[in-house]
Amino acid sequence: MKISINELAQLLKGKVEGDGTQQVHTVCKIEEGFAGALSFLANTKYEEYIYTTQASAVLVNKEFAPSKLVQTTLIRVDNAYEAFTYLLEKFNSVSQSLKGIEANSFVEPSAVLGKDVYLGAFSYVSKNVEIGDYSKVYPQVFLGADVKIGKNCIIYPGVKIYHGCELGDNCIIHAGTIIGSDGFGFAPLADRSYKKIPQTGNVVIENNVEIGANCAIDRATMGTTRIEEGAKLDNLIQIAHNVVVGKHTVMAGQSGIAGSTKLGPYCVVGGQVAIAGHITIADGNQFGGQSGVLAGIKESNGKWFGSPAFEVKDYLRATAIFRKLPELQKRLNALENELKQLKGE
């Protein structure tokens, strides 16, 4: 899709500085710009590239003041990052305008498919499944019995959603993710073996949730494992049975939450963070990468790091001391030797 810079500016309610008659047909990074592409500058770390980029146009914030001559055309907007995101959504919606049922897919007669649903080849829709209007189910997706999927959802290839699980509207599930697999529930017996505990609950994913590739979200033992509205999960994340992930919480890759833990809304979880089971974490808390969260947190909006995790300011003080330990050990040894000499004298 080609569009002139002037038309783009009008769409974004921005102001053009330069040749607005040029046309753009794609987007690019500012450091990799080329003719016909649109880029953006929102982070001052990348300002050097705006003076050399070959992109036909660059979105910038209204207050941006260049320190050198800029060769490219600028589009000044209130927020360059938000404007660029909006355009990416527009470009993406055009490229994903799929609908209809492809050959070699299977749909049980009792399933209900909404308006303009897309169903890819080799996908399997079990009995009593409901798929909302305009949702897209890509090839090789399995939807178990009684699964419900809302409107405008995107289920990418290879996703498996087990029986009884529910997705709200505008959800995106990336390739290879499993929703509703059994929770890790086993009862120890007297002979030191383990007996499987039936996992009879489900998973409910609320509206506007995005889940990355190759995640596992376990069904509840009883009741519901819940991912609340607006939460965003990266790739390779484990959510155990009966967990609640609060609304608009974000989790980075390779992090995991053990069973029956409640993670509050607006939390930020870094990569490879491990959160123990049966605890409650208040809203707005942030956890640095590789933290180990072993106890509940009652206070809101804290910042935590380390394993076991404690407040960032205390962690930084402890780290500073830890780095000095080899030197402190040398000084302690020297003092011990000096004390021995004094005693000998």
* pLDDT on residue 93: 65
58 and 122 assigned to the same domain: no
- pLDDT of 345 over the 70 cut: no
Domain contains 343? no
Render the burial of 131-145: b for 16+ CB within 10 Å, e for the rest: bbebbbbbebbbbbe
At 91, is the pLDDT very low, low, confident or very high (cuts 50, 70, 90)? confident
8 and 119 assigned to the same domain: no
- pLDDT of 94 over the 70 cut: no
Distance from the first to the final alpha carbon of the chain: 91
Amino acid at 328: L
At 30, is the pLDDT very low, low, confident or very high (cuts 50, 70, 90)? very high
pLDDT (mean) for 32-59: 95
β partners of residue 46: none
214 and 292 assigned to the same domain: yes
Domain contains 318? no
What are the distances in angstroms from CA 332 to CA 74, 76, 322, 337?
63, 62, 15, 9
Q: What is the pLDDT of residues 296-314, one digit of tens each?
A: 999 999 999 999 998 888 8
The two structure tokens encoding residue 77: 């907007």
* pLDDT on residue 146: 98
281 and 156 assigned to the same domain: yes
116 and 239 assigned to the same domain: yes
Q: Which range of residues forms the domain containing residue 274? A: 100-311
- pLDDT of 250 over the 80 cut: yes
Cα(319)–Cα(173) distance, integer angstroms = 39
Q: What is the pLDDT of residues 218-239, one digit of tens each?
A: 999 999 999 999 999 999 999 9
Provide the whole-model pTM: 0.81
At 87, is the pLDDT very low, low, confident or very high (cuts 50, 70, 90)? confident
Domain contains 324? no
Do the Cβ atoms of 63 and 42 come closer than 8 Å? no
At 95, is the pLDDT very low, low, confident or very high (cuts 50, 70, 90)? low
CATH code, domain with 193: 2.160.10.10
- pLDDT of 141 over the 60 cut: yes
34 and 156 assigned to the same domain: no
Give the dihedral of Cα atoms 50, 56, 60, 62; nearest 10 deg.
Answer: 120
Residues labelled catalytic? 241
104 and 90 assigned to the same domain: no
CATH code, domain with 46: 3.40.1390.10
At 104, is the pLDDT very low, low, confident or very high (cuts 50, 70, 90)? very high
Domain count, the chain: 2
Cα(163)–Cα(180) distance, integer angstroms = 7
Of the three residues 47, 74, 95, the one that is the final residue of a domain is: 95
- Percentage of residues in the chain with pLDDT exceeding 90? 86
pLDDT (mean) for 196-208: 97
Minimum mean pLDDT range among 16-25, 39-48, 86-95: 86-95
Domain contains 338? no
* pLDDT on residue 99: 86
